[in-house]
Homo-oligomer: A and B are copies of this chain.
Amino acid sequence: MLHKICYLGDDTLQGAAAYLAGIMSHFDLPYDYVASAQSPDEGFASRQYALYVISDYPAARFRKGQMSYISECVHGGSGLLMLGGWESFFGQSGQYHQSPLAEVLPVTMRPADDRRNCAQPCLVWKVAEHPILEGLPWDQPPGIGGFNALTPKPDTETLLHSVRFSVCRREGEFEFVRGEALPLLVVGMWGSGRTAALATDVAPHWVGGLVDWGDRRVVQEVAGSLAEFGNWYAEFFRNLLVWTGKWEAKEIGDRRSEIGG
């Protein structure tokens, strides 16, 4: 297995993918990248990655058999992470509901437009303890701008909810009324691989305030430009990649083999 991430989607490294690619570079997580308009190369099914990350990458971009190949890899121990967006899950044009990945992911997708755009505040709400959430100040929750409406499957774990608020201004005061809470981060297993579904996006516009969550700024060079974001945002996504790709165990393994060699 390649000790590497296969990251597909979020337009291009010069576009929305600069965020997650910036996080991977910042934390020294090696990756191969496939832009949203491209298909994976013909040799895709001859390599097994430690982790597949699919984010705003329409299901229609995969060549015949490539999604089934990912399913086999995950069954054999690779991780699979899908991040939300208009081209993820069902979305506007993600259309994964009848794909081979529908049974692998830890959530059930609606067979129709599942986009929820939030003009008024929507906050991230921690609902479980988990390594992905460790060390971050969830009592100072960030906002998000939208998400895909998803249903957790049995035998999965929901770690975060999104919770929407409606705000009215009455006589100079702002009244916040708490509305619907929906699954935002769900994790599970497929064979011996870990799976995760994050219903919001890693990049604007759905990432919302989450991209600026932090007490200091991180600036990272990606493909000749600088990506800038909050440190807690970066650490959350790092944790999500590391856990889903079983990265820490692998790093220990590699270090040991280097020492042993």
Q: A123-176: which have CB < 8 Å to B?
A: 123, 125, 138-143, 145-146, 163, 165-170, 174, 176
Chain B contacts for A92, CB-based, 8 A: 228
Whether a CB of chain B sits under 8 angstroms from the CB of A235 is: no
Whether a CB of chain B sits under 8 angstroms from the CB of A30 is: no
Task: Tell me, in angstroms, the Cα distance from A241 to B124 when the chains sit together.
Answer: 35
Task: Tell me, in angstroms, the Cα distance from A209 to B120 when the chains sit together.
Answer: 6
Whether a CB of chain B sits under 8 angstroms from the CB of A56 is: no
Chain B contacts for A170, CB-based, 8 A: 139
Whether a CB of chain B sits under 8 angstroms from the CB of A79 is: no
Q: Are A141 and B163 in contact (CB under 8 A)?
A: no
Q: A195-225: which have CB < 8 Å to B?
A: 204-205, 207-214
Binary contact readout A162-194 vs B (1 if CB under 8 angstroms, 0 otherwise): 010111111000101010000000000000000
Q: How many copies of this protein are present in the complex?
A: 2
What residue in chain B is nearest A232 (Cβ atoms)? B119
Q: Are A120 and B143 in contact (CB under 8 A)?
A: yes
Q: Are B138 and A169 in contact (CB under 8 A)?
A: yes
Task: Tell me, in angstroms, the Cα distance from A173 to B248 when the chains sit together.
Answer: 34
Chain B contacts for A120, CB-based, 8 A: 140-143, 209
Whether a CB of chain B sits under 8 angstroms from the CB of A100 is: no
Q: Are B139 and A168 in contact (CB under 8 A)?
A: yes
What residue in chain B is nearest A176 (Cβ atoms)? B176
Whether a CB of chain B sits under 8 angstroms from the CB of A230 is: yes
Chain B contacts for A204, CB-based, 8 A: 145, 204-205
Whether a CB of chain B sits under 8 angstroms from the CB of A118 is: yes
Whether a CB of chain B sits under 8 angstroms from the CB of A121 is: yes
With contacts A176-B176, A205-B204 taken as known, whether A119 is within 8 angstroms of B146 at the C-beta atoms is: no
Whether a CB of chain B sits under 8 angstroms from the CB of A68 is: no
CB of A169 to closest CB in B, whole Å: 5
Q: Which of B146, B167, B207, B210 contacts A123 (CB 8 A)?
A: B167
Task: Tell me, in angstroms, the Cα distance from A179 to B174 when the chains sit together.
Answer: 12
Q: Are B176 and A145 in contact (CB under 8 A)?
A: no
Chain B contacts for A76, CB-based, 8 A: none
Most buried by B among A15, A167, A228: A167
Binary contact readout A59-88 vs B (1 if CB under 8 angstroms, 0 otherwise): 000000000000000000000000000000
Q: Are B169 and A143 in contact (CB under 8 A)?
A: no
CB of A88 to closest CB in B, whole Å: 16
Whether a CB of chain B sits under 8 angstroms from the CB of A117 is: yes
Among all A-B residue pairs, the 3 with the closest Cβ atoms? A204-B204, A204-B205, A117-B212
